[in-house]
Amino acid sequence: MANVKPRTLAGFMELLPAPQQQLERIMTTLRETYSLYGFTPLDTPIIEDAKILLAKGGGETEKQIYRFEKGDSDLALRFDLTVPLAKYVAMNYGQLTFPFRRYQIGKVYRGERPQRGRFREFYQADIDVIGDGKLDILNEAEIPSIIYQTFSRLGLKRFCIRVNNRKILNGFYELLGLSDKSQDVMRTVDKLDKIGAEAVREILVKEFDVAPEQADEVLRFIAIQGSNAEVLAALEGYKGRSETFDKGLEELGTVTRYLADFGVPEENFAVDLTIARGLDYYTGTVYETVMLDHPEVGSVCSGGRYDNLAEYYTNKSLPGVGISIGLTRLFFVLNDQKMLNESVPTAPAEVLVVPMSAAQQGYAISVATQLRAQGIRAQLYTEQKKFKAKIQYAAKLGIPYAMFLGESEEQEKVVSLKDLNKGEQVTVTLEEAAAQVRSYLDAVREIPSIVE
């Protein structure tokens, strides 16, 4: 007897079949796009030794972590895919070939306070390129192309990949003599959009003891805007005063220069000096991606260049560059904004094969088997229901075709195929019916997951 009320925990996304199909389609696009760039799939455990997972220690993350004991073991659920990658690369260093390019799409866990649009279990979709000792700048230049392809293939058009270089920021603060305050200054500058330039200036001067003329310099610097060429030209004016800055400018120039060869349109890319990415971790190019019509969502794909992937596990130098998409949150936002394309097929099959009576079951089975052999998803429907209920079953699930098989169809070795969207029915050979379904499949194959 039922004694427990079934429920799913708050903060855990569990989808009905139709939206699940939409999510699967998005994941397939991510896998395919990442693969086109030579990334190999990895799959690491969800549970790790807590001491290894938390080797870096401290911070907000540690409070949110799911950590527990089983027997003598101190265990934790992964909270991102980067730490497990660092462990994997350090552990398998001798067996990997560098540069090592991997993608991983997997669930991670953070015990945040549940609130709308925040999840405790969520998918991340990451790519990283790891070098052994060094890694060519071209890898950083390729990332915007991957981001562009990924979102374009999903159907998104109104987005911008914002790029900066940590060496430019660090070099700029160095040439102002503000290196030791650069963290505070960057955090303050990050609030520019919210509080405005005047308030930023005041905090810099009053709270962090930045000289007023230096504060003005900072504000002038982050106010540099325009086309990529204009921003780069403006940055030229700071050259020759900091090696770090000059190196950063050179790198940013390289990343920008190859955009056209990589097929990234200018309108989807912007050099943006306000992008810093909080983490100390990043040391070169940094990326954020925003949906132009939904700036409130924040970055949907971020990352950057780092110098030491696995410093807690190995003394080997493992520089890399990577990006991450918070897939569960992105899916939530797309759904919320009605941006999931309703034309995407979400049915479990293309054809519902319906024998008109028990006598045609053998024929129906044989027909379904032949359809499947041709790659057509065919579901047999043999429940004892009224004809109308069978049609309603297909309609509810969005199955586009029903195939009716009665006595005459079996005798004449034909099938009656009904297009449930158009309401048209034809009696044709199985080959002709399969051809019609295949045209449908060709037509829907490229339907984008996202509409704007």
**Residues 405-424 interacting with its own copies (rule: CB under 8 A):** none
Gap between the Cα atoms of 48 and 73, Å rounded? 10
Q: Is 157 in the site for its own copies (CB under 8 A)?
A: no
Q: How far apart are the first and last CA of the chain?
A: 48
Measured from the CB of residue 372, what is the shortest distance to its own copies in angstroms?
4
* Residue 142 vs 246, nearer CB to its own copies: 142
Task: Mention every residue, 6+ apart, whose C-beta is less than 8 A from residue 97.
Answer: none
Q: Is 49 in the site for its own copies (CB under 8 A)?
A: yes
User: Which stretch of DSSP H or E encloses residue 428?
Assistant: strand 424-428
Measured from the CB of residue 213, what is the shortest distance to its own copies in angstroms?
40
- Binding to its own copies in span 353-372, by CB under 8 A: 361-363, 365-366, 369, 372
User: Which stretch of DSSP H or E encloses residue 199?
Assistant: helix 197-206
DSSP labels for 305-319? EES-TTTTT-SS---
* Residue 90 vs 271, nearer CB to its own copies: 90
* Residue 388 vs 396, nearer CB to its own copies: 396
- Binding to its own copies in span 306-325, by CB under 8 A: 310-315
From the list 26, 29, 30, 48, which residue makes contact with its own copies (rule: CB under 8 A)?
48
From the list 29, 82, 124, 149, which residue makes contact with its own copies (rule: CB under 8 A)?
149
- Binding to its own copies in span 89-128, by CB under 8 A: 90-92, 95-97, 99, 101-102, 107, 109, 111, 120-121
372-396 per-residue burial string, b: 16 or more CB within 10 A, e: under 16: eeeebbbbbbeeeeeeeebbebbee
Measured from the CB of residue 379, what is the shortest distance to its own copies in angstroms?
3
- Binding to its own copies in span 54-83, by CB under 8 A: 55, 66, 68-71, 73, 75
Q: Is 47 in the site for its own copies (CB under 8 A)?
A: yes
Task: Mention every residue, 6+ apart, whose C-beta is less than 8 A from residue 155.
Answer: 341, 448, 449, 450, 451, 452
Residue whose C-alpha is closest to residue 337's, from 300, 302, 301, 303? 300
Q: Is 443 in the site for its own copies (CB under 8 A)?
A: no
From the list 82, 139, 150, 416, which residue makes contact with its own copies (rule: CB under 8 A)?
139
**Beta-strand runs (E) in 211-308:** 269-271, 282-291, 302-306
DSSP labels for 127-179? EEEE-SS---THHHHHHHHHHHHHHHHHT--SEEEEEEEHHHHHHHHHHTT-G
Contact segment (CB under 8 A) with its own copies among 46-54, 156-164, 337-345, 432-440 equals 46-54
Q: Is 377 in the site for its own copies (CB under 8 A)?
A: yes
Gap between the Cα atoms of 183 and 295, Å rounded? 24
- Binding to its own copies in span 209-268, by CB under 8 A: 258, 261-263
Measured from the CB of residue 419, what is the shortest distance to its own copies in angstroms?
18
Q: Is 20 in the site for its own copies (CB under 8 A)?
A: yes
Q: For tokens 């493992």, name the residue.
A: 318
SS3 helix, strand, coil % of the chain, rounded to 5?
45, 20, 35
* Residue 131 vs 322, nearer CB to its own copies: 131
Tell how strand 401-405 and strand 415-419 pair up.
Answer: antiparallel
Gap between the Cα atoms of 78 and 108, Å rounded? 6
**Site string (259-298) toward its own copies, x via CB under 8 A:** --xxx-----------------------------------
Q: Is 194 in the site for its own copies (CB under 8 A)?
A: no
* Residue 235 vs 309, nearer CB to its own copies: 309
